[in-house]
Structures are given as structure tokens and as C-alpha cells.
Amino acid sequence: MNPGNVPPDRTLLDLLREDLRLTATKEGCAAGDCGACTVVVAETVNGRLQYRAVNSCIKPAQSIDGMALWTAADLARPDGTLHPVQQAMLACHGSQCGFCTPGFVMSLFALYQRTVAQGQAVDGHTAHQALSGNLCRCTGYRPIVQAACSLSAEPVETIEEKPIVAALQKLAANEKTAGAYLRPSALPALLQARAQHPQAQLIAGATDAGLWITQGLRRMPQIIDLTRVAELRRVEHYPQHIAIGAAINLQDAFEALAADRPVIAPFGERFAGWPVRQSGTLGGNVANGSPIGDSMPLLIALGAQVVLMAWRKGKAVHRHVPLDHFYTGYRQSLLAPDEVLAWVVVPRPAPGEWLGAYKVSKRQEDDISAVCLAVQLHVQDGHITAARIGAGGVAATPARAVQTEAALIGQTWNEATLAAAQQAIEQEFSPLSDLRASSDYRRQILGQLLRRAWLESTGHKTIRLEALA
Ligand SMILES: Cc1cc2nc3c(=O)[nH]c(=O)nc-3n(C[C@H](O)[C@H](O)[C@H](O)COP(=O)(O)OP(=O)(O)OC[C@H]3O[C@@H](n4cnc5c(N)ncnc54)[C@H](O)[C@@H]3O)c2cc1C
Ligand code: FES
Ligand code: FES
């Protein structure tokens, strides 16, 4: 099929099922939530294939142009011999009605390629992470998790990558700077495209924008896809900060942040599920500006800045904006129509920094926050010398808790200061009541999360759900 014939807002799932009549991939929610539509895509990185499980229901079909694609129909050998991941599901009774099974099998296939095919074993934590974007109504999950954990015991089946890499090189998904689906591969071309087509829908991972198509029934006659821009596919490390390019997916972004601050790793794992973290970007989360977005409270607490870029008077221009000044109202920001968020710049930890990051949601995985709180403290000789607090789910925008910070700075870090700070944070915001939580609950939780930060930062052990076996 000529990708040029595919409308820019046609999803990969609709292309597979309706246009190509390849119906192994199922549609459950069409919202990225259930994982029934999971497929695996691979790109060539340094001559090797890099595999990703993605939700085909919210992925524009054209976004995978030039990549290899596997659906559940592609795993068994022509003689019918099952792939080890299918065999494991069969042996562990991991399927009942079977509706979710093609999606689980594809998540397992991506896991298999990342681990067993590379000679690594699969432990329980890795299995849970890999399956965190798949829902099943029937099995109760234990047999499916068992199937994942048993993969290391299956015979290793490797993919002959060379011909696929060669075929992808021949396809060479070239830069597209004209037409309905623009896919620039260099930063100047992206900025020029943004300037020339201000009405076009800019997308990165499309884990928000894809839902506007499938749930909002919005048409997108022209799309600018920034995920192939080479300059934005990098995390750059400097002595004082790291700069995360706008095309870096959430998984890689959280890993880069957690390298300096390990406490961010479990927090990052609470963001959506694996396939959404493999497609969605940190830049997209920040640019979209949802008041219940998870990365912004953390980034505000860390003192992050965004670098906004545009093409003006024949050249690229940029400006740095501190994230706590970026949002101007509900889903509104300082981003001008011709600007692109190019980098998220995060200061590296200063000596003595203490950080706590907490997400409260109804489900542990694949759920949106009711409240999110991130607290960065510097305590010297028992006194708080600096404090930055980011909060989500409590105002029209991601917010900085400046009054609460003022109640902390200069004080002795004891229970009396905690009580004053709890009172301050409960008064600082007027959260809404909605289906996720009532206003009172949100306010109380803010105070309780501060207490947790006090307990943890003063050496008390608290019980973390993710630490329970
Ligand atoms: C099942 C599911 C679970 C989710 N769970 C969470 C969660 O737990 N926490 C959470 O915070 N979010 C969650 N999300 C929302 C979403 O995944 C994130 O907001 C994600 O980071 C969006 O990034 P993206 O690259 O997919 O953005 P896209 O969908 O591509 O774009 C979103 C918006 O940002 C704009 N944009 C994107 N990149 C740029 C840029 N570089 N410059 C300027 N504008 C840009 C686009 O124009 C668009 O308006 C979830 C989504 C789904 C489907
Ligand atoms: S159909 Fe549910 S995630 Fe795609
Ligand atoms: S086996 Fe029925 S939904 Fe999973």
C-alpha cells in the first residue's frame, strides 16, 4: 500500500482491520486503555532492530512508515508451530474468551525480544511492567503473568534481523516536508513546517492526540509528526543539567531522569502503561498541559525549563521558559502558534537534595492521577534551606505550591513545621470534585503526602505498594 494514499488521521488499527482486512488485531476501547489492539513495531537503531509494543488504535498509520510491523498473525511459523510466547500462553492457560489475547501476546512478544532473545531472564517486575497496558476481563492475570515469567524456560527463537534491516533501509522513510502528513527529519525543517502550516496538527507520540480522533471524532487534514527529527531524539547530558529532546519517549525520559534521582523510577512506572510510555513523549505531556498530567509536578519541583523554538525571519530562534511560568490557564500556555517545544531542561541534583514524588490514583497502573505531588528539599543541620513543590490535580494547571514552600523555608524540619506546611498546602489550592476524587479528599491527600515526605526525608521507613511482592 502506498502510504501517500492513507489519510493522515487514519489510525493504524483501522488501516489493518478495515483497509487491509487483517483482523488478528482487536479493537476494545479505541482509547489506548485496554491493550487489545497492541502491535509491535521496530526501527533500525545502530544497525539493530529496536522493538516497541504500541497501541494501534490511537497511532496514526503514517507514523510507522518505514518501520517493521508484527501483529498476532505474524508470530507462528508457516507450518503452524507456535512462537514461544503463544506456547507459554497456551501452557499456562492464559486465555479464556480470547478477546484480549492478541494484545497480550504482542506485549509478550515485545518483552521476549527485549529480554529472552537477548539472553536475559524475565522476572516478575519486568513481566508486570510489560503487561501494564493490557486488560483482561476473564483470567485474573495470574496465568498470563506466569506465562511471561516462564518465557526464559522456552527455547530461544530469534528473528533473522539482517533482511529486515536491509528492507527498511531500502524503504528509507524519507523526510516528508509537503503533503498531508509532514514528517521532517531535521529541526530547521520542523520549525519551517510549523511556521508554514500553523493550522496543521503537531503530534509526537499521539497518545493524547490519537484520542481526539477516535473519541473526539476530530478530523486532522494535515499532521506534522516530530518524532523523526534527529536533534530531538537525544538526551544530552551536561554538568549542570540534562536536556531531553521532544521526540524522546516517556520510558526513556524517566530512565534518564532516574539515573540522577533513583526515586523517579517507581514514579515513572506509575505513568500510564508500557505501550503508552513507549510512544508518548515527555514533551507531549508538558505541551499538552493537562492539569492532571504527571510529569509536570515533578519537573516543577526540579526547577525544569522548557526550550521553545520557532522559525522567524529566515532563522531558528529559541527562548527558555521556567516550567512554573509556562502555563497561563486551563490547557493554555505561553507556546506561540509557530513555536515547538524542543527540549525539557532539568537541573542535575545539587548536593544534599532530597526528592519525593507521589501519584495517587484509583489503580496502580494505567490510571490518571487524582493528585500528584513532588517535593524537593534541602535540609542542613535540621533546617530547611530550600524547598520546591509541584502539584497536579488541584488547580486549572499544573502548579507550584509557593505558599507552602514559604511555610517551610528557614524552619526546623520537625512535626510543628510539618503541621504548618500541611495547613498551608490544604489552603493553597481549591481543587475540583470529579469522578476521580472529591475536592475535600484531594485537599486532605495533599497534606498527607507532605507528611509522607516528612517521614521519608527524616529517615522513617514507609510502606510502598510497589515494594510488596
Ligand atoms: C491509556 C493512557 C494512559 C495515560 N496515562 C497518563 C498518565 O498516567 N499520566 C499522564 O500525565 N498522562 C497520561 N496519558 C496522556 C498522554 O500519554 C501523555 O500526556 C503523553 O505524554 C502525551 O505525549 P504524546 O507525545 O503522545 O503527545 P501527542 O498526543 O502527540 O500531543 C499532545 C499535544 O501536545 C502537543 N505537542 C506534542 N509535542 C509537542 C512539542 N514538542 N511541541 C509543541 N507541542 C507539542 C500536540 O500538538 C498536542 O496538542 C495517558 C494516555 C493514555 C492513552
Ligand atoms: S483498543 Fe483498547 S488500547 Fe487500543
Ligand atoms: S481472556 Fe477474555 S478478556 Fe482476556
CATH number of 406's domain: 3.30.390.50
Of 172, 187, 221, the last residue of a domain is 172
The mean per-residue pLDDT over the stretch 398-420 comes to 97
Please report which confidence band the pLDDT of residue 60 belongs to, taking 50, 70 and 90 as the band edges: very high
- 28 pocket-lining for ligand 2 (C-beta < 6 Å): yes
pLDDT at 235: 98
Of 329, 348, 367, the last residue of a domain is 348
Same domain, 344 and 355: no
- Cα separation of 26 and 7, whole Å? 21
- Cα separation of 308 and 321, whole Å? 8
Same domain, 279 and 303: yes
The mean per-residue pLDDT over the stretch 433-461 comes to 92
Q: Separation of 169 CA from ligand 1 center, angstroms?
A: 29
Q: Phi/psi class of residue 93: alpha, beta or left (left: φ > 0; alpha: ψ in -120 to 50)?
A: left
Same domain, 27 and 163: yes
Same domain, 311 and 398: no
Same domain, 139 and 188: no
Of 328, 348, 368, the last residue of a domain is 348
Same domain, 154 and 300: no
Q: Please give the angle made by the CA atoms of 271, 273 and 276, to the nearest 5 degrees.
A: 90
Average pLDDT, the chain: 94
- Is the pLDDT confidence value at 464 over 80? no
pLDDT at 313: 96
Same domain, 248 and 328: yes
Domain that residue 360 falls in: 350-469
What's the pLDDT tens digit per position in 270-280?
Answer: 999 999 999 99
Query: How much of the chain is helix, strand and coil, in % rounded to 5?
Result: 40, 20, 40
Which residue's CA is the nearest one to ligand 1's atom 50?
272
If one counts every other C-beta atom within 10 angstroms of the C-beta of residue 287, the result is 22
Q: Separation of 466 CA from ligand 3 center, angstroms?
A: 25
Same domain, 468 and 409: yes
Grid cell locating 283 = 514533551
- 16 pocket-lining for ligand 2 (C-beta < 6 Å): no
Site residues for ligand 3, CB cut-off 6 Å: 95-101, 136-139
What is the Cβ-side half-sphere exposure of residue 419, based on CA atoms within 13 angstroms? 3
Same domain, 306 and 245: yes
pLDDT at 468: 62
pLDDT at 469: 53
Please report which confidence band the pLDDT of residue 154 belongs to, taking 50, 70 and 90 as the band edges: confident
Same domain, 225 and 129: no
- 33 pocket-lining for ligand 2 (C-beta < 6 Å): yes
The CATH number for 247's domain is 3.30.465.10
- 208 pocket-lining for ligand 1 (C-beta < 6 Å): yes
What's the pLDDT tens digit per position in 174-232?
Answer: 677 789 999 999 999 999 999 999 999 999 999 999 999 999 999 999 999 999 999 99
Please report which confidence band the pLDDT of residue 428 belongs to, taking 50, 70 and 90 as the band edges: very high
Range with the lowest mean pLDDT among 82-96, 222-236, 356-370? 356-370
Closest atom, ligand 3, to C-alpha of 138: 2
pLDDT at 175: 73
Same domain, 44 and 89: yes
Same domain, 14 and 89: yes
- Beta strands at 241-245 and 223-225: parallel, antiparallel or unpaired: unpaired
The mean per-residue pLDDT over the stretch 440-454 comes to 95
pTM: 0.95
Please report which confidence band the pLDDT of residue 173 belongs to, taking 50, 70 and 90 as the band edges: low
- Cα separation of 237 and 255, whole Å? 13
The mean per-residue pLDDT over the stretch 336-353 comes to 97
What's the pLDDT tens digit per position in 351-366?
Answer: 999 999 999 998 888 8
Closest atom, ligand 3, to C-alpha of 136: 4
Number of compact structural domains in the chain: 3
